[in-house]
Amino acid sequence: MDVTVFSTKPYDRRFLDAANAQGQHSLHYLEARLDADTAALAFGSTAVCVFVNDCVDRAVLTQLHACGIRTVALRCAGYNQVDLAAAEALGMAVVRVPAYSPHAVAEFTVALMLALDRNIPRAWARVRENNFALDGLIGRNLNGRTVGVVGTGRIGALVARTLRAGFGCEVLARDVVHDPALEAIGVRYVPIDTLLTTSEIVSLHCPLTPATHHLVNAAVIAAARPGLLLVNTSRGALVDTRALIAGLKSHKLSGVALDVYEQEADLFFEDLSNEIIQDDDFQRLLTFPNVLVTGHQAFLTEEALTAIAETTLASLDDAQAGRPLQHQLRAETALSPS
Ligand code: NAD
């Protein structure tokens, strides 16, 4: 199968080539992000392979279809960037990688939580300047703290388990589906309002849907426990950035760690160190001493990249052979109440 791979980074190429070692597919690597201006570059392929910040809306899908594309392979779990109804109407199959390594994201989430709470990036910056003073670096134990986990699917369940069984936290959870294995170790499912008003730390692990857009907004921050720490490794638009900035300025929030950002498509995955960043909200976030931002790297482990490449290639094998697609997304998936 001829596949145009958009938003290719050197590590994508390395892992996709390893999974395609038999040369069963012709992979055409492009650094360009998929959007209305670049869709035509897929001409000659029958499939495209895309990532989280590629634009796969109705207009782009229509262009891709006209170029001969019949399969869209997402090399990620989230699919909020895709108009599934449009794809279905055009007769295009959309496949994803539902679970490549939930451990990669869960472990990174806990790493962010600890780094933020124990001021590790600030400490490292000081030590590099031969400043060994400890003033301003006082943290808190995780043990005994109340942590709210929103979404206990593959990633959230691992985070909840690590915090509960590993660190001895009180873990409150919210999900439309309860996980009895988590309840058995003492994780307590509570209504979202209780979770958001009771927790000292909140970690977001639910998908971005119309129901969860700006789940953390000004009203939620106003009602939150003073000194709340917020960690988001899920999707940027779960959080209203301006409300976050206001909450940090008023000291209502005592710290924020983000691996995802609402407007990350204009920033992340690129070296912009010689550019003037035009996003004033993002720049403001970076000025707070108690904000830690990483550029959507929670997934980035050897294990996850191997699994992403292998699952993507297996889906392309199935598409080529006309077999049922195990990881196909249907339009109703996006509309399901969550
Ligand atoms: P999952 O589908 O296994 O779990 C999501 C859970 O959220 C499900 O249990 C679902 O019932 C629950 N949920 C849905 N709506 C909810 C709501 N309104 N309130 C509470 N819970 C709700 O997904 P996952 O694999 O655990 O991924 C979780 C998130 O992490 C996704 O948004 C995904 O895009 C993101 N993610 C980020 C990275 C990264 O590198 N930062 C990597 C992979 C995944």
Residue 160 Cβ contacting ligand 1 at under 6 Å: no
pLDDT band at 338 (very low <50, low <70, confident <90, very high): very low
End-to-end CA distance of the chain: 35
- pLDDT of the residue at 157: 98
Contact 171, 224 (CB under 8 A): no
Residue 61 vs residues 43, 55, 57, 271: alpha-carbon distances, Å: 13, 9, 6, 28
Dist. CA 276 → ligand 1 center (Å): 33
Enter the tokens of residue 318. Answer: 């199935």
Catalytic residue list contains 235: yes
Question: Average of pLDDT values for 52-56?
Answer: 94
Sign of CA dihedral 140, 142, 144, 149: positive
Ordered domains of the chain (ranges, CATH): 2-100+302-335 (3.40.50.720), 102-293 (3.40.50.720)
pLDDT band at 334 (very low <50, low <70, confident <90, very high): low
Residue 338 Cβ contacting ligand 1 at under 6 Å: yes
Question: Average of pLDDT values for 36-55?
Answer: 97
**Which of 338, 335, 287, 320 lies closest to 1, judged by CA?**
320
- pLDDT of the residue at 95: 98
Q: What is the pLDDT of residues 265-311, one digit of tens each?
A: 889 999 999 999 999 999 999 999 999 999 999 999 999 999 999 99
Query: What phi and psi, each to the nearest 5 degrees, are found at residue 172?
Result: -100, 140
DSSP letter at 272 equals -
Question: Average of pLDDT values for 90-116?
Answer: 96
- pLDDT of the residue at 336: 35
- pLDDT of the residue at 333: 61
Residue type, 114: L
Question: Average of pLDDT values for 201-225?
Answer: 96
- pLDDT of the residue at 103: 97
DSSP letter at 82 equals B
pLDDT band at 241 (very low <50, low <70, confident <90, very high): very high
* Smallest CA separation from ligand 1 atom 31, residue: 207
Contact 25, 19 (CB under 8 A): no
Q: What is the pLDDT of residues 132-190, one digit of tens each?
A: 999 999 999 999 999 999 999 999 999 999 999 999 999 999 999 999 999 999 999 99
**In which order are the strands placed within the sheet that holds 201-204?**
188-189, 170-174, 146-150, 201-204, 228-232, 253-258, 291-293
Residue found by looking up tokens 């986990």 in the block: 149
Q: What is the pLDDT of residues 61-84, one digit of tens each?
A: 999 999 999 999 999 988 999 999
| CA pair distance 64, 52, nearest whole angstrom | 17
Residue 153 Cβ contacting ligand 1 at under 6 Å: yes
Question: Average of pLDDT values for 202-224?
Answer: 96
Question: Average of pLDDT values for 34-50?
Answer: 98
- pLDDT of the residue at 243: 98
Residue 296 Cβ contacting ligand 1 at under 6 Å: yes
Dist. CA 220 → ligand 1 center (Å): 20
Residue 212 Cβ contacting ligand 1 at under 6 Å: yes
Sign of CA dihedral 167, 173, 175, 180: positive
pTM of the model: 0.91
pLDDT of 335 above 60: no
pLDDT of 85 above 80: yes
pLDDT of 99 above 90: no
* Smallest CA separation from ligand 1 atom 35, residue: 234
